[in-house]
Amino acid sequence: MRSHYKFWPRRLPHSLSSRATSLWDNLANSARRYPDKACLVFFGRVLSYAEVIQKAERMALVLQGLGVRRGDRVVLSLQNCPQLVIAQFAILRANAVVVPVNPMNRMEELKHYITDPDARVAITSADLAPELARASDALQPEQRLAHLIVTQFTDAFDANITGDEAPPSAWRDWLLTRHALPALQGGQVHAWAEVLSGQAQGALPELQVGPSDLALLPYTSGTTGLPKGCMHTHASVMHNAVASGLWNSSTAENVTLAVVPMFHITGMVSVMHTSIQLGATLIVMPRWDRELAGRLISRRRVTHWTNIPTMVIDLLASPNFAQYDLSSLMYIGGGGAAMPQAVAQRLLEQFGLRYVEGYGLTETAGPSHTNPPDAAKQQCLGVPFISTDSRVIDPETLAEVPVGQAGEIVTHGPEVFAGYWKQPEATAQAFIELDGKRFFRTGDMGRVDEDGYFFMVDRLKRMINASGFKVWPAEVEALMFKHPAIQEACIIATHDSYRGESVKAVVVLRASHLGQVSEQDIVNWCRDNMAVYKIPRHVQFVEALPKSAAGKVMWRALQEQERSS
């Protein structure tokens, strides 16, 4: 018996039986059970389960009319809003595959998310649509989007709302502006509200997909090359959606604050899909704002809040914090970065809340490890999740290492992805066999203590963790090389007291541009060409980058130099 079972919640089994249903069935079942119950709440507008499923079915019919068939990939690029939930389930109901895309991505990045999954249809918001259209227009005619469905945020709430649940004043222009729809070369642009209210032709497609069919294709970057699609079936997502609910003592009476991005695997699976399969209520925030979060937790009596630690730190620092009522919270936790011990201790002493940290990757559909709620250790990844076998091995010999010794974390379980989309070599390198089981190599270095709890030590993979967002240096470098002044660039992490880590670019300028381009010029260019969390916050010009005898940039040397300084 694994040592961590001593701390396992007594009410829970060590493993779960798999469900023989699709993710769509979760919404259908909850809508049958609780048709009048609040499913989504967005700036005071309440959508019942009956309303959500009706809109999702109508959108599925629209997608079928646009040519979406079983197994087709559909791009979904939205901030948190009801339309994201409706669209995701509509794609699944159309027997298709959701390609969730970070709405912060810019044109150069977006081109890959159209061409790699061979997507012909995309759904986005009006503020993001021009960037997606530009990306499509820049491609070869046979690669472009055929259809772009565009929603306005006010399709989902009353623009005249006032009071505690109204958008912050800083968001009003962004949320209330009715943006004009862009043109799409060789394709058609459709207004969300119009296609939902129109008369879609034909009958709703028969639900054909089941546990083994592809459901999600979220992308993850790596040490080299462009982002890779992680193939998740209905079964792999279903497992973590169900297991997360059980682990967090969830019921249909949950009121969950949905503020972590639902385009990201954690928000999508552990928040959205978990809540929908329970029949719970999601209080949706499109972005983080500490005052709005405090008011929503108080007013809507939020019981469950999955977050990243910087959100908690920010809320506790609010000058209005004493006015907020957190007494309804039963569960608070998250991952992406370690929760400072002092903050975790304050939550425990002041509110009786144990901050439950967890660990997972896009490849594991969210959590592969989490802390037992009643036996959580601070700044700890937790124990292997329900139905999961995880070990620490020597990355060279692949032998399991002794307790306390550092090695690579490897994971086997029903939540592990099937492989990388169209990348059989990368898939083969990502897995090993131990004791007759297929284990995913996380690339993260960790150790296990005598109680079976896992702790992060370092990374084998080159990655920067900025407020829970993973930044892959190779991807940022590839984008920066498009700047005409940059001869070479190396991306490293720099310490950030608030974000944990920030991005730093060490740059060699071309001789023709010396003295003509400033560090701020580089930052400004990056702001126009990549997602905001990837932008280097610091740029350092150097005459040359350190290189090995083979001519490879010695990024580790630069990283160690940065850490020592």
Domain co-membership, 171 together with 202: yes
Judged by DSSP in three states, 462 sits in coil
Q: Tokens for 255, please give them.
A: 């009121």
Domain co-membership, 448 together with 477: no
CB neighbours of 140 closer than 8 A, spacing ≥ 6? Answer: none
Domain co-membership, 128 together with 253: yes
Let me know: does 326 contact 351? Beta carbons within 8 Å: yes
Q: What is the CA radius of gyration of the chain?
A: 23
Q: Output phi, psi for 283, to 5 deg.
A: -95, 110
Q: Tokens for 214, please give them.
A: 């592809």
Judged by DSSP in three states, 483 sits in coil
Q: Is residue 343 part of a domain?
A: no
How many Å apart are CA 467 and CA 489, to the nearest integer?
Answer: 23
Per-residue pLDDT reduced to its tens digit, 19-46:
999 999 999 999 999 999 999 999 999 9
Residues 273, 275, 281, 285: is their CA dihedral positive or negative? negative
- Give me the pLDDT at residue 458, please: 67
CATH of the domain at 89: 3.40.50.12780
- Burial class from Cβ neighbours inside 10 Å (0-12, 13-18, 19+) for residue 307 reads buried
- Give me the pLDDT at residue 477, please: 85
How many Å apart are CA 63 and CA 90, to the nearest integer?
Answer: 8
| Long-range contacts of the stretch 369-374 (C-beta < 8 A, 24+) | 369/454, 370/247, 370/333, 371/333, 371/453, 372/7, 372/8, 372/9, 373/9, 373/247, 373/248, 373/249, 373/331, 373/333, 374/9
Domain co-membership, 56 together with 168: yes
Domain co-membership, 205 together with 166: yes
Q: How many domains does the chain have?
A: 3
How many Å apart are CA 274 and CA 278, to the nearest integer?
Answer: 6
How many Å apart are CA 356 and CA 363, to the nearest integer?
Answer: 21
How many Å apart are CA 555 and CA 565, to the nearest integer?
Answer: 15
Per-residue pLDDT reduced to its tens digit, 277-313:
999 999 999 999 999 999 999 999 999 999 988 889 8
Q: Tokens for 232, please give them.
A: 């998740």
DSSP state of 505: E
Q: Is residue 206 part of a domain?
A: yes
- Give me the pLDDT at residue 66, please: 96
Q: Of 410, 427, 459, at which residue does a domain stop?
A: 459
Q: Is residue 430 part of a domain?
A: yes
Domain co-membership, 479 together with 368: no
Establish how many alpha carbons lie within 13 A of residue 13's alpha carbon, considering only the half-sphere containing its beta carbon.
Answer: 6
Q: Is residue 116 part of a domain?
A: yes
Q: How far is CA 468 from CA 311, 444, 500, in A?
A: 11, 15, 9
Q: Which neighbouring-strand residues pair with 75? A: 99, 122
Q: Of 288, 305, 334, at which residue does a domain stop?
A: 334
Q: Is residue 16 part of a domain?
A: no
Domain co-membership, 187 together with 291: yes
Residues 137, 523, 307, 14: is their CA dihedral positive or negative? positive
Let me know: does 21 contact 237? Beta carbons within 8 Å: no
Domain co-membership, 312 together with 366: no
Q: Tokens for 307, please give them.
A: 């977050």
Domain co-membership, 353 together with 502: no
Q: How far is CA 495 from CA 315, 344, 562, in A?
A: 22, 21, 9
Q: Is residue 287 part of a domain?
A: yes
Q: Is residue 7 part of a domain?
A: no
- Give me the pLDDT at residue 475, please: 83
Per-residue pLDDT reduced to its tens digit, 175-225:
999 999 999 999 999 999 999 998 767 788 899 999 999 999 999 976 667
- Give me the pLDDT at residue 555, please: 84
Q: In what order do the strands lie in the sheet with 366-370?
A: 45-48, 38-42, 281-284, 255-258, 304-307, 331-334, 355-361, 366-370, 383-384
Residues spanned by the domain of 422? 349-459
Domain co-membership, 385 together with 503: no
CATH of the domain at 392: 2.30.38.10
For the chain, give the number of residues: 565
Domain co-membership, 237 together with 357: no
Q: Is residue 6 part of a domain?
A: no
Q: Tokens for 330, please give them.
A: 């039963």
DSSP state of 148: E
CB neighbours of 246 closer than 8 A, spacing ≥ 6? Answer: 12, 16, 386
- Give me the pLDDT at residue 198, please: 82
- Give me the pLDDT at residue 73, please: 98
Q: Of 412, 428, 459, at which residue does a domain stop?
A: 459
Question: What parts of the chain have a pLDDT lower than 70?
Answer: 1, 200, 222-224, 458-461, 548-552
Domain co-membership, 307 together with 423: no
Helix (H) / strand (E) containing 234: helix 234-247
- Give me the pLDDT at residue 459, please: 62
- Give me the pLDDT at residue 103, please: 95
CATH of the domain at 558: 3.30.300.30
At position 511, the amino acid (one-letter code) is A
